[in-house]
Amino acid sequence: MKKENSDRHFEEAKRCIPGGVNSPVRAFLSVHDRPFYVKRAKGSYLYDADGNTFLDYVASWGAIILGHADEGLIAAVTGALHEGTSYGACHPYEIELARLIVGTFPSMESMRLTTSGTEAAMSALRLARGCTGKNGVIKFRGCYHGHADSLLVKAGSGLATFGIPDSAGVPADLAKHTRVAEFNNLDSVAGIMDESDDIACVIIEPVMGNMGVILPEEGFLKGLESMCRQRGILLIFDEVITGFRVAFGGAQHIYGIDPDLTCLGKIIGGGFPIGAFGGKKKFMDRLAPIGDVYQAGTLSGNPVAVRAGLYVLSFLKENGHVYDRMRETAGRLADQVTRIAARYGVAYHINSMTGMFTGFFSDRDVTGYEAAAASDRGLYERFFKGMLEEGIFFAPSQFEASFITLTSGDAEIQKTINACEKVFRDLGTAQ
């Protein structure tokens, strides 16, 4: 595989961009490699600066669901561009998008657009604190909600620990208000709630996507909802990844949960930078300019991103069968690859839901942070590099989700299966 041009770009980037990248995961450090540079994308494929073609399972980290450079989306965006790129003023399309989203999520009686998922989570957190008059936040180890200070913490050795900064520059006095519980472990949540009466909210990815895909066990989300209701603690669902990805209506629709606040992103902008948060009107009406919780965004509701989102969400609404198709495609791929791994004696386990999945190099079910963290990262690195040589691009980290798009057809699945046959054979032989 040629990499001369990408390597040259990377050296140039390192001279003017920290680490050469605008987001750390793009540096490929966890797989001890160097990034390739994309020249263009179409359908299920990326084309890089050296003429390599990659079947793409990263899909802009889930933001692309129709496939790259969808013709209908391009037409919608082109029309929007001719009418201006940014207004700094209200426009009717943001009402259309809000009405579509509110009509899809029963838990969201009102919502506000942001420019990113990080901004949505940060704003939802501030709103929860403002509505409850409390400071504490419970998050779950392995769930990522953007890099806002209050959420950029890690757990200590116990199940219910105070958060400690996971980054330089995060004040310990702020991070200490964030407590860390264990996904799929209600006792860890109850322990924190019993210890403190200063908990404003619980924030959670209902289906984990930032430690790899980890599904909630039966009764976990319902139990969490019940505990929050009983104690007057707001429940925030971070559906930045899962919203409109796992179902039209997100994971809360699948599991029958009624969160107080919901964060959205990625797909609602059709690949453009956007986010949103919303919930019960009694909470959302606390936001400025009508309430006392300040939140603002100069480019929130950008008309190009909104028009893109309207096109994608309208398509998904009118073609609900595509979720069944993605579910079947991901299931077929998971079944075939799992069989291949077993045939060559490689411990491998796939978690999947609709169009998102993660393969863990593990000999046990992965239901939480510890099981995920115990996966064999060395095997994943070899898998990643082997698949890349075969023209298949998975995330450059064991702890990320992979995504199916609507352009992932029989040819793409067979190409992936053929590559897995070769790579897993090599992994099994080397053990």
Active site residue 317: no
Do 179 and 137 meet the contact criterion of CB atoms below 8 Å apart? yes
Question: Residue 26 and residue 135: Cα distance in Å, rounded?
Answer: 34
Q: Report in angstroms the alpha-carbon separations of 176 from 65, 140, 179, 187.
A: 38, 15, 7, 21
Catalytic residue among 3, 134, 139, 266: 266
- Helix, strand or coil, per DSSP, at residue 86: coil
3-class SS shares of the chain: helix, strand, coil, % to 5: 45, 20, 40
Query: Exposed e or buried b for every residue in 338-375, given b needs 16+ CB within 10 A?
Result: eebbeebebebbbbbbbbbbbbbbbeeebbbbebbbeb
Cβ burial, residue 409 (10 Å; 0-12/13-18/19+): middle
- Per-position DSSP letters for 12-76, written without gaps between them: HHHTTSGGG-SSGGGG-GGGT-----EEEEEBTEEEETTS-EEEESSGGGGT-SS-BT-HHHHHH
The active-site residue, picked from 45, 57, 144, 369, is 144
Radius of gyration of the chain (CA): 21
Q: Is 139 a catalytic residue?
A: no
Distance between CA atoms of residues 155 and 169, nearest Å: 18
Give which of 208, 206, 183, 209 is closest to 256, Cα–Cα.
206
Helix (H) or strand (E) holding 162: strand 161-162
Q: Which contacts qualify for 79-87: CB closer than 8 Å, 24 or more apart?
A: 79/307, 80/303, 80/304, 80/307, 80/308, 81/304, 83/303, 84/303, 85/302, 85/303, 85/304, 86/299, 86/302, 86/303, 86/304, 87/303
| Catalytic choice (48, 56, 70, 238) | 238
| Rounded Cα distance, 315 and 391, in Å | 30
The question of whether 238 is a catalytic residue gets the answer: yes
CA distance 275 to 288: 18
Catalytic residue numbers, as ranges:
144, 238, 266
